[in-house]
Amino acid sequence: MSHHLPRTRAARPALRRGADRVQFGLDPARAITVEGLTDLASAALMRLDGTTSRADAVRLCPELGSVLDALAARGALDDETPAPTLSDHRRRRHAPDIAALALTRESTRDAERAFARRQRSLVAVRGNDRTAALVAVGLAAAGIGTVALEGPDRTTALADLTPVGPYEPDVSWRDAVAESVRRQGAHPVALSARVRRPTVTLVCAAADVDLPWCDPELTDDLLADDVVHLPVAVAAESALVGPLVVPGVTACLWCLDRRSCDRDAAWPALADQLRLRHAVTLAQGMATASAAAAVAVAQVLAVVDGGAPPVTSTAQVALRAPDHLAEVLPVTRHPVCGCGWGDSTRTIGA
């Protein structure tokens, strides 16, 4: 093995369990314990901080060679050289994110490759409420490289100020959020024909009503253009994130609309009236908007990072005051909705 300056990985410290035992990390699912160590070897393992070369450590304590090889093989040590996929600036800027990713990857190199995929991704945010601002800046902060701000711009009011921007009234909402996105190291763009298709479009467009509802009409173009989208609706102190609509594959917002019609024959008339309302003040608690934005960003990261489909591909995540604990509400396609009639083999993240 070639760890010239071996060190323990972030969040997996060497912890002494006894005279001859050293444990790496706390989580029982991935902690590694080395037993039968001499005093010299256990002392050396406790000092794996990247300041002593492997050669020097093994010269002082020959038994360490095989121990370091075994630890490296099990992913307990940091890589000697970083992957060339990220710039040094990017690596330092997002070190906590990469270290977090590394806990579930084989190596820091793997984590950096996963993070580089986020950097290459384009995610769109549709809407201009406070939730949209929190989502857009949250995506950028989590490493999404390009954030497209969709929908009409408007002049900010005092009520638009959030902890991540806009920071002042009477400015362009889109310019202010774009600046916050840029400060997080991402590229803000306006969606146009020249911009490539987003991996996911988040639809942050809650209606002016006391339950979270996203108008399916706002996603018709996304369905038609085969764009994966995720509604994020915040109303007062409750929120619904999802479902993640993969056109032709998962349930769409018209499927939900059909279910609402099944439960209440008057629903179409109610929905039409909601569409005509223009909110003077949109009721959105900041804690609720922040919690919903965090869940939405996490769902997008699950799509971008790959692996198992996120929970919203078959459900909505509901959050409600006062605790905002996530409740999973399963969603299935409605047999009458036309969204599943095409025979698609598309998969999430494709």
Beta pairing, strands 21-24 & 146-150: unpaired
**Nearest-approach distance from CB 345 to Zn ion, in angstroms:** 17
**Nearest-approach distance from CB 289 to Zn ion, in angstroms:** 27
**Nearest-approach distance from CB 275 to Zn ion, in angstroms:** 18
C-beta closer to Zn ion: residue 136 or 331: 331
Stretch that binds Zn ion, among 26-34, 36-44, 47-55, 251-259 (CB under 5 A): 251-259
Residue 255 in the binding site for Zn ion (CB under 5 A): yes
Q: Which of residues 325-344 bind Zn ion (CB under 5 A)?
A: 337, 339
227-248 b/e (C-beta count within 10 Å ≥ 16 → b): bbbbbbbbbbbbbbbbbbbbbb
Q: At what angle do helices 108-120 and 95-102 cross, to 10 degrees?
A: 120
The one among 191, 254, 312, 317 contacting Zn ion by CB under 5 A: 254
Amino acid at 251: A
SS3 23: strand
Q: Which of 345, 218, 245, 238 is nearest to 299 (CA)?
A: 245
C-beta closer to Zn ion: residue 178 or 339: 339
Q: Which of 185, 203, 208 is nearest to 149 (CA)?
A: 203
Which residue's Cβ has the minimum distance to Zn ion? Answer: 339
Stretch that binds Zn ion, among 26-34, 135-143, 160-168, 250-258 (CB under 5 A): 250-258
Residue 252 in the binding site for Zn ion (CB under 5 A): yes
Stretch that binds Zn ion, among 184-192, 233-241, 254-262, 266-274 (CB under 5 A): 254-262
What are the backbone dihedrals phi and psi of residue 114, each rounded to the nearest 5 degrees, phi first? -65, -40
Distances (CA, A) of 309 to 27, 305, 314, 316, 339: 24, 10, 9, 13, 19
- Using CB under 5 A, count the residues that bind Zn ion: 5
Stretch that binds Zn ion, among 12-20, 155-163, 249-257, 283-291 (CB under 5 A): 249-257
Binding site for Zn ion (CB under 5 A): 252, 254-255, 337, 339
